[in-house]
Amino acid sequence: MKVVVCVKQIPDPADPGALDPETNTLVRDQKLILDESDSYGVEMALQLVDTAGDGSVHLVSMAPDNQVTGLRTALAMGADSATLVSDEALKGSDALGTAKVLAAAIARSEPDLVLAATESSDGYTGTVPEMVAELLGLPSVTFAKAVAVDGGTAKVQRQTEAGYDDVECPLPAVVSVTAGVVEPRYPSFKGIMSAKSKPVDELGISDLGIDAGSVGWAGGSQEIVSVADAPTREAGEVIEDEGDAHERIVAFLDELKVL
């Protein structure tokens, strides 16, 4: 079974984010790391291939400046190979532009299953996997909290507002997974060493037959018209618990007349 996992390399969430004052897009010129949300998809793919008995896990990523640090992390977990699409023309791409690039890169591998995170940790539009499915003409199941493959069918528990649905979907298909679907493994020392020699195919958009006018700033059709500081919420009273803090809480609730 051939599984492709979409992975995003993002600025370290521990660093405060910033917008480029000229373009109003997130600054991404620092070293990028594997989005933690994607480690679940990578783990899920490794487990599914392991259960199937044979197959491969291939990564697809789009990132500026040929950055591969995040991809190497996923390769160190056990993925076999990767495609990285990097191109000046992709700067400023919105979700739809990104999905066009990922779909074209995924199509080259003719996978049985495409996995992605439900949403990235930096942009969190939560729309790219479903766009990729639409562009590839594939069925999709989003918000998966459990995934199994039985013959040519994916069996997915899909999170809903009230609980979950059991969904069956013939392969090939796109499935987006939530955090918590599996426990991602830590890369072993051996994994880290072998990741350095695993193949990473670096492509530009012309390799994918994508017209520069349909992606990036040129292809995007949304414009940020203003950026402003949000009104801040004033911090209130903060006290140290000296063994009687519960009394202060009860008094506060009493004042609000909610008891």
Partner 1 sequence: MGLEKIWVFGEANGDAVATITLEMLAKAREIADTVEVFMAADGDDHAEELGDHGAETVYSTGDLDGAMQGVSVASAVAEAIDSGDVDAPEAFLLGTTQDGRDVAARLSVKLNSPVITNIVDLVVDGDDLLGSEPIFGGATDVMTKNTSDNPGIFLVRPKSFAAEPVGGAEADVEDLAVGDLGAAGAARVVATFAEESVGPKLDEANIVVSGGRGLGDSEAYSMIEDLAKAVGAAPGASRAIVDAGWVPYSYQVGQTGKVVKPTVYIACGISGATQHLVGMKGSKNIIAINKDSEAPIFAVADLGIVGDVHKVLPKLIEALSG
From 61, 56, 10, select the one nearest 33 (Cα to Cα).
Answer: 10
Which member of 33, 52, 95, 200 binds partner 1 (CB under 8 A)?
Answer: 95
CB 165 within 8 A of CB 157: yes
Q: How far apart are the C-alpha atoms of 255 and 259, rounded to whole Å?
A: 9
15 binds partner 1 (CB under 8 A): no
Q: How far apart are the C-alpha atoms of 141 and 119, rounded to whole Å?
A: 13
User: Which of the ranges 71-79, 193-201, 202-210, 232-240 carries the binding residues for partner 1, by CB under 8 A?
Assistant: 232-240
User: Which of the ranges 49-57, 72-80, 142-150, 195-203 carries the binding residues for partner 1, by CB under 8 A?
Assistant: 142-150
Within positions 165 to 194, which residues make up the interface with partner 1, using CB under 8 A? 165-170, 173, 178-180
44 binds partner 1 (CB under 8 A): no
Residues contacting residue 117 through CB under 8 Å, at least 6 positions apart: 6, 8, 35, 37, 38, 40, 41, 129, 176, 177, 179
226 binds partner 1 (CB under 8 A): yes
114 binds partner 1 (CB under 8 A): no
Q: Residue 9 or 159: which CB sits closer to partner 1? A: 159
163 binds partner 1 (CB under 8 A): yes
CB 177 within 8 A of CB 40: yes
CB 101 within 8 A of CB 220: no
Q: How many CA atoms lie within 13 A of 32 on its CB side?
A: 24
Which member of 15, 196, 197, 221 binds partner 1 (CB under 8 A)?
Answer: 221
Element (H, E) at 117: strand 113-117
User: Which of the ranges 46-54, 61-69, 153-161, 188-196 carries the binding residues for partner 1, by CB under 8 A?
Assistant: 153-161
20 binds partner 1 (CB under 8 A): no
User: Which of the ranges 47-55, 63-71, 88-96, 196-204 carries the binding residues for partner 1, by CB under 8 A?
Assistant: 88-96
CB 219 within 8 A of CB 213: yes
Q: What are phi and psi of 139, to 5 degrees?
A: -75, 160
Q: Residue 197 or 221: which CB sits closer to partner 1? A: 221
143 binds partner 1 (CB under 8 A): yes
